[in-house]
Structure 1
């Protein structure tokens, strides 16, 4: 992978200093923990991580029979402009699919609330399906 992101992080650290860089990162962690705590309140989900150490968290579907999966939710959110990927875990846990959010600088609390609203609306839509969404083949990963 290109090193541009690492160079940008280094530049930001030099420009902002330790305290400034920490404040920026803490803001991202605060948004991540807010989002994860709200997603944890939604009935179909269990958190895999909380986003309280780095601003990344993931969740999975609770066990049970549904007419949808996390790939369906990812597709529905993508139609609304949100890229919230669903991924299978590595080979030894390939039956587990998680969805994750990476909170980056620029994802404000207001924007996070809009994302939560979209997730809630799409979960409501999916929960009310009478049958599975037809698809040509089973999905096994997220494609950008």
Structure 2
């Protein structure tokens, strides 16, 4: 059976490099998008959600906030501004970020960047959902 080559890159680090995959699911702007070998070439805008890839029955999952994917017949490259592997533990720093984002959104301070606080809150909530899904 044909395979895709899958790479997943974030600004912090490459998360997956040239991994074989039978199937990749993306949280696309229009809804979840499945990619199989031989898929039509495209560029896909990614929304907050989960990127999943399967290889030989084993599935891995990542939480992302946003990004894009370049899809080709035989490979797919995913670029995310922030990503979290399902196996990664939620750090104390991530918990503190969640609390800061909640406080910023509930604050009446005019100097608070509401849009940034909302993004940070969504990021931390998504990471927490990822942890709960794996428990």
Q: Return the TM-score normalized by structure 2.
A: 0.22
Structure (1 or 2) with the greater strand fraction: 2
The TM-score normalised by the length of structure 1 is 0.21
